[in-house]
């Protein structure tokens, strides 16, 4: 077995930037947690407000339009907010809402939709939400519900949905078509698919197979994943472990070498370490690929802004050329490095993850609303300002802002994204440091203050205007699944579904924050 230590090239850089095991230590890591019931209850109240508005004005449609008290069917009209809210209601033990969703699940007609079906979005929201609810209700919450028929209906619906989705994998290579249509199930005719939309199916489809004792679903997702674990041609892997974005359905070959830890590629890297946590016996190769990607990120992508070089961000790449730009979506990366460090007993990864968390905290702390922007950029401290390898000049109207904050805003909207609070959660569960609880509370209070409108909460147009710059009149389903769940869990009592720092994990979160029970029931189990 390969050593869990960092590769030779990455380890010196960790020490250079102050992240290594021999660097000046942060606060001593511990796993003692501080429950703050008052804050947890406040988050539960926000969940109830969101649910009440959705249930009154939008259910069983997908999403609430809180300003106009209307609805949107943006995820095929199967009740995305209800399914995304399911696991959050369960970890909050909100039995009134749980019973409403339990009653609804058997009525969903997964054969009917008038819109294009995204294999990726349907997997992470619907399939992940159903499998997670089943795991929770047959696991740690099994004594709390006396509706066995409805609980079994959850798994039946998950299987039925997967049976409709599996047509997507019927391609010459096994790389799925992300674009599908139902009634009858058929492919949309795509020629390529993306790394994230290929590589973020394997946890949900493997778990479904394990629950059903039927390898069919796992085999489909794992075959598709195999092209990402062993990428070809060389253009698809510009740095060791770091991939391009688009892959041909015809032969599984990469067609570009552009990527990053943001949208389009992000959750592929996220799932590598999570699959190893799910079952280390079957997914050792995933561990190796995550280590390779993590080491290359540290060696090649680390960037510090010219005006605040103490901050750490990860650049994106086009081939071997870096661009110093990031996004809210990419701020999950701190939490993912932290989870990798905990899972692999490698504190240097955890320390590096905490540095990334610090950087993303600055994007929240620095704006007028206290909420981070969708896209931000900076100039890299290692390159001359006029270098062709650096970003363009700072926008004139943001020079003062950049001098103070270390980044400027490329897109100022906030669409109720969870990634920064998600990484605060992992930082807290790794360290027990209440600083991360305080940061999460500041973020939660800012979002509640600025995004509360009408019958719920809405995405906003400009995080650097005190009033948010106006509303989009849209409450995303992942507001229920992710923002409210992570905001609650960071203050809640320890529970089987909480992330553990001591190798006793019983669950791993999918990319929609649905807790999936690890194979064998606990971390390290082999059967």
Q: What residues act catalytically? A: 374
Phi, psi at 125, each rounded to 5°: -90, -60
Q: How far apart are CA 300 and CA 309, in angstroms?
A: 17
- Taking the alpha carbons at both ends of the chain, their separation in whole angstroms is 21
Given a contact cutoff of 8 angstroms between Cβ atoms, the answer to whether 172 and 249 are in contact is yes
Rounded to 5 degrees, what angle do the CA atoms 515, 518, 523 make?
Answer: 120
Return the residue matching tokens 């661009």. 323
DSSP bridge pairs for 254: 247
Phi, psi at 48, each rounded to 5°: -65, -40
Q: How far apart are CA 145 and CA 484, in angstroms?
A: 23
CA torsion, ordered 107, 111, 114, 117, to nearest 10 deg: 110
C-beta atoms surrounding 335 within 10 Å: 29
Half-sphere exposure of 92 (CA within 13 A, CB side): 28
Half-sphere exposure of 321 (CA within 13 A, CB side): 7
Q: Where do runs of H (alpha helix) occur along 17-79? A: 37-57
Q: How far apart are CA 136 and CA 120, in angstroms?
A: 23
Q: How far apart are CA 6 and CA 35, in angstroms?
A: 34
CA-nearest of 276, 432, 275, 427 to 344 is 276
Residue 520 burial by CB count (10 A; 0-12/13-18/19+): exposed, middle or buried?
A: middle
Question: Can you list the positions of beta strands (E) in 374-414?
Answer: 375-377, 408-411
Given a contact cutoff of 8 angstroms between Cβ atoms, the answer to whether 341 and 347 are in contact is yes
> Cβ contacts of residue 41 below 8 Å, gap of 6+?
none
Query: What is the token pair recorded at 47?
Result: 């969940």
């Amino acid at each position: 077995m390969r050593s869990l230590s960092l590769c030779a090239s990455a380890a010196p850089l960790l020490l250079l930037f102050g992240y290594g095991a021999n660097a000046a230590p942060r606060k001593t890591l511990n796993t003692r947690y501080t429950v703050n019931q008052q804050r947890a209850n406040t988050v539960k109240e926000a969940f109830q407000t969101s649910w009440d508005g959705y249930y009154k004005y939008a259910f069983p449609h997908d999403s609430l339009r809180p300003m106009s008290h209307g609805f949107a069917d943006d995820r095929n009209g199967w009740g995305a907010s209800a399914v995304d809210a399911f696991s959050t209601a369960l970890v909050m033990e909100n039995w009134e809402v749980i019973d409403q969703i339990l009653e609804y699940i058997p009525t969903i007609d997964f054969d009917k939709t008038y819109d294009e079906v995204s294999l990726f979005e349907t997997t992470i929201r619907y399939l992940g939400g159903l499998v997670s609810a089943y795991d929770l209700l047959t696991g740690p919450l099994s004594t709390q519900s006396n509706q066995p028929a409805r609980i079994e209906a959850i798994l039946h619906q998950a299987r039925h949905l997967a049976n409709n989705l599996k047509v997507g994998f019927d391609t010459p290579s096994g790389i799925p078509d992300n674009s599908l249509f139902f009634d009858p199930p058929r492919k949309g005719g795509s020629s390529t698919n993306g790394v994230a939309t290929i590589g973020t199916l394997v946890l949900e489809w493997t778990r479904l197979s394990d629950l059903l004792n039927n390898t069919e679903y796992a085999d489909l997702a794992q075959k598709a994943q195999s092209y990402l674990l062993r990428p070809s041609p060389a253009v698809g892997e510009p740095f060791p472990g770091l991939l391009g974005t688009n892959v041909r359905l015809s032969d599984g070959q990469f067609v570009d070498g552009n990527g990053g830890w943001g949208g389009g590629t992000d959750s592929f890297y996220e799932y590598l370490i999570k699959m190893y946590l799910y079952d280390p016996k079957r997914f050792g190769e995933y561990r190796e690929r995550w280590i390779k990607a993590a080491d290359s990120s540290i060696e090649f992508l680390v960037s510090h802004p010219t005006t605040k070089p103490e901050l750490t961000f990860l650049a994106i790449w086009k081939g071997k050329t870096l661009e110093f730009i990031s996004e809210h979506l990419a701020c999950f990366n701190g939490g993912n490095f932290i989870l990798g460090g905990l899972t692999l007993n490698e504190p240097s990864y955890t320390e590096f993850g905490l540095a990334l968390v610090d950087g993303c905290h600055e994007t929240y702390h620095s704006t007028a609303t206290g909420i981070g922007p969708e896209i931000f950029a900076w100039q890299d401290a290692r390159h001359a300002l006029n270098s062709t390898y650096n970003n363009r000049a700072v926008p004139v109207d943001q020079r003062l802002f950049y001098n103070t904050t270390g980044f400027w805003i490329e897109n100022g909207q906030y669409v109720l994204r969870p990634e920064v609070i998600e990484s605060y959660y992992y930082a807290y569960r790794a360290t027990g440091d209440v600083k991360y609880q305080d940061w999460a509370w500041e973020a939660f209070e800012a979002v509640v203050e600025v995004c509360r409108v009408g019958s719920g909460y809405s995405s906003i147009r400009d995080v650097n205007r005190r009033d948010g710059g106006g509303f989009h009149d849209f409450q995303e389903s992942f507001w229920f699944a992710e923002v409210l769940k992570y905001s609650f869990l960071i203050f809640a009592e320890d529970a089987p579904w909480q992330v553990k720092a001591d190798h006793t994990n019983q669950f791993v979160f999918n990319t929609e924050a649905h807790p999936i029970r690890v194979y064998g029931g606990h971390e390290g189990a082999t059967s």
